[in-house]
Amino acid sequence: MDYQKILEEIADEIKPLFSQGKVADYIPALRDVEPSDFAMSVEFIDGSVYNVGCSKKKFSIQSISKVFTYSMSLCIYEKSLYKRVWHEPSGDPFNSLVQLEYENGIPRNPFINAGAIVTADTLVSKYKNSKKAFQEIKRFIDEISSADITINEEVYHSELKYGFRNMALVNLMKSFKNIENDIDEVMKTYFKQCSFEMSTNELAKAMLYLANHGTHPLTNKKYLNQSQAKRVNSLLLTCGHYDASGDFAFRVGLPGKSGVGGGIVAIVPKMMALCVYSPKLNKQGNSLIGTKALELFTTKTGLSIF
């Protein structure tokens, strides 16, 4: 199959959609992006790579970071993590508070904000403070992406200042005793992980361990065992796109994770990882063109998991 040609066709076919969608603005610093940017990268487990668009341009990875922190925490805490973060789709927006109240502060899954905040808390507990936890998260992502990634300080401070709902979530969970550490330490860790900037090229490479049973195929380093990798992929399929997870599975048919920065990663098990970037979002906070581009990819190649 001529993957380069397929990516170029996709880049052409999504052009009419650029008038649709809206860049995230509830975090003011996220507004400062070029709305018509588009990039897509495909990396195979043998290391071959195909790119189209601005695939070297760094963007805010936001919720895509939840995949890395959950993998780290699952590796450390194994099954005991499931008691603090469940594995059901929420059917609610990414920053919703309602379910948490009547479910006693246990988030439905690690890919909504509440679940990722608990996950950040587990890493602060393991590494004793936010600074060390953040260093370990950075080390993990640097290693799996073969990059030296940095945070966007402006986005980080904007999240700290305007992350009202996230502060509400952490306080509510603390009241239910599902947060062990000082909430400022936890939120610094969470907001920093969301503020990392990476390109589609780096993110596709970083996700390869999930396409290869938990072992990075290019370095042979094991990050998760096979069963854990299955569970992370299952969660990506059922919960990776908030209250549009069903729609994403229906259209694309791959495990995937979006971020409000406009990135989406997806996995074709035993074969490849993909990343697409386009910052204008649909109503549920997922990249509108990114979702369409992945739908076109699986339609053109027949490479869905079904």
Show Cβ contacts of residue 205 under 8 Å, excluding neighbours closer than 6 positions: 43, 49, 144, 145, 146, 218, 273
| 173 interacts with ligand GLU by CB under 6 A | no
Q: Which of residues 87-146 bind ligand GLU (CB under 6 A)?
A: 94-95, 113
Min dist CB 101 to ligand GLU, Å, is 19
Nearer to ligand GLU, 7 or 124 (CB): 124
Q: Which of 50, 58, 66, 195 is catalytic?
A: 66
Show Cβ contacts of residue 196 under 8 Å, excluding neighbours closer than 6 positions: 60, 61, 65, 138, 141, 149, 150, 151, 152
CB 83, CB 110: distance < 8 Å: no
Q: Which of residues 9-28 bind ligand GLU (CB under 6 A)?
A: none
The SS3 of residue 214 is coil
| 260 interacts with ligand GLU by CB under 6 A | yes
What are the C-alpha distances in Å from 206 to residues 51, 140, 141, 173, 226?
15, 10, 7, 30, 17
Nearer to ligand GLU, 89 or 217 (CB): 89
CB 38, CB 14: distance < 8 Å: yes
Answer yes or no: 33 catalytic. Answer: no
| 69 interacts with ligand GLU by CB under 6 A | no
Min dist CB 63 to ligand GLU, Å, is 3
| 240 interacts with ligand GLU by CB under 6 A | no
Answer yes or no: 242 catalytic. Answer: yes
| 243 interacts with ligand GLU by CB under 6 A | no
Length of the chain: 306
Answer yes or no: 67 catalytic. Answer: no
What is the binding site for ligand GLU (CB under 6 A)?
A: 62-63, 94-95, 113, 159, 166, 194, 259-260, 285
Cite the active site residues: 63, 66, 190, 242, 260
